[in-house]
Amino acid sequence: MASNATLPGWFDPLESIVSTVFMMGSFVTIILYFMEVLILVTLRNTVYKGMFYQIFTVGIIVDVFSLVNNYFGCVFPAKGYFQDFYLSMGTFVGQMYLMIAWTARGIQGCTVVALALNRATAVCLPIKHKQIWNSKYIWLVHVFQLGIGLCIGTSLITQNFYWKYERNGIYIQFENQNFRRGFFMSAYVIETIFVACIMIINVTMVIAFRSKYKVRLSTQPHLNQKVMSEKQRQEYNLNIVAGLTCVAEIVYYCYVIYVFGINTSVPTRVFYLLYDVINDIYCGLSGWLLLIYSRSMRAHVTKMMRCPMFGFRRMRIMIPPEQQFASSTNVERDKNTSNRRVPTCGTPC
């Protein structure tokens, strides 16, 4: 990668401001995730029941680990924090950072695909949806969700690394450049597969959802204006979520293509600054979407913030199970669902 000497003078204050802002934002996001995980686990048999929420919960736990790992393994060393400690440990901390980061990225991609499939069956195969996701073989979904990421991360166990000095900070680097090129190209291929699957699944769901909605309007003209307005609002919410999640995936994908395929000589500090920003946004998006588009989650989080222990004890009786996400997908107003970086629709199971 290029030397720090090639960077303009304004990059130093920009790097400092961006890092500080996103560090504060990540701290707030981690607190939010902590509350959401408590809520999801506590109410896993009532309000947040089903395979969708099991996959979702694992996903946001991985997001938290990814955020924390990125700061302790990348941001802090880059800013020169605790440098003596990092150097005294050799490259162990840096290697663990890379292993966890790549493991988490694999799990995140598989989580998105799994959630997309869950929502796709809810829309395209509503009758068989519960049968599919309550099968005795459903544990294979978690094997898929976790397995690919663990394989990616453990492939770095035997590799050697070194700390590269840039300005006042240090950055972990691969010693074997041939392995580095092959590893990054593999990451590009895997990311391409993830994005292709997500786009195909979501396009299919959007088409199926619109088609079923039009058919219901034509076959059930007695639907009142209130129901139609509610459906329009729900579809608008789905479009917002779809746009945000697609943009996040595409931005991440474009970044992977650029730095791992097109321009592999991006300056180290620029590479890690952009990566940190994208990682923070990507890891935090699901939790904030859950908060925005889930009425029950907003109520639970608000209650916990006002009175943490009292709100936690009363979560089980505070919200009826039927009050779910604002983005329902059937006119009969069945139990709603949320979205984790996947623009989908249907009842989770």
Q: Which residue do the tokens 């720090």 mark?
A: 4
Q: What is the mean pLDDT of residues 216-239?
A: 51
Sign of CA dihedral 77, 262, 22, 151: negative
Can you tell me the distance from the alpha carbon of 338 to that of 287, in angstroms, rounded to the nearest whole number? 10
Each residue's pLDDT tens digit, 238-266: 455 555 666 777 778 888 778 777 777 77
Buried b (16+ CB within 10 A) or exposed e, 8-18: eeebeeebeee
Can you tell me the distance from the alpha carbon of 217 to that of 212, in angstroms, rounded to the nearest whole number? 9
For 35-44, 149-158, 215-224, 301-310, which range has the lowest pLDDT when averaged over its residues?
215-224
Structure tokens belonging to residue 112: 């998105």
pLDDT greater than 80 at residue 137: no
Q: State the pLDDT confidence band at 325, using cuts at 50, 70 and 90.
A: very low
Question: With contact defined as beta carbons under 8 Å apart, do 348 and 290 qualify?
Answer: no
Angle, CA of 203, 209 and 212, to the nearest 5°: 140
The pLDDT value given to residue 19: 85
Angle, CA of 42, 45 and 51, to the nearest 5°: 105
pLDDT greater than 80 at residue 237: no
Q: How many residues does the chain have?
A: 349
List beta partners, residue 163.
Answer: 172
The pLDDT value given to residue 96: 92
The pLDDT value given to residue 329: 38
Each residue's pLDDT tens digit, 15-69: 888 888 998 998 999 999 998 888 888 887 787 777 888 888 888 899 899 999 9
Each residue's pLDDT tens digit, 68-124: 998 898 888 888 888 888 888 888 988 999 999 999 988 988 888 888 888 778 777
Question: Taking the CB of residue 278, how many other CB atoms lie within 10 A of it?
Answer: 16
Residue 48 vs residue 153, higher pLDDT? 153
Residue type for 248, please? A
Can you tell me the distance from the alpha carbon of 139 to that of 147, in angstroms, rounded to the nearest whole number? 12
Residue 17 vs residue 320, higher pLDDT? 17
Q: What is the mean pLDDT of residues 267-283?
A: 84
The pLDDT value given to residue 333: 37
pLDDT greater than 60 at residue 334: no
Model pTM? 0.77
The pLDDT value given to residue 99: 92
Please tell me the CATH code under which domain 15-315 is placed: 1.20.1070.10
The pLDDT value given to residue 346: 35
User: Considering only CA atoms, which of 326, 187, 349, 345 is closest in space to residue 256?
Assistant: 187
Q: List the domain boundaries for the chain.
A: 15-315
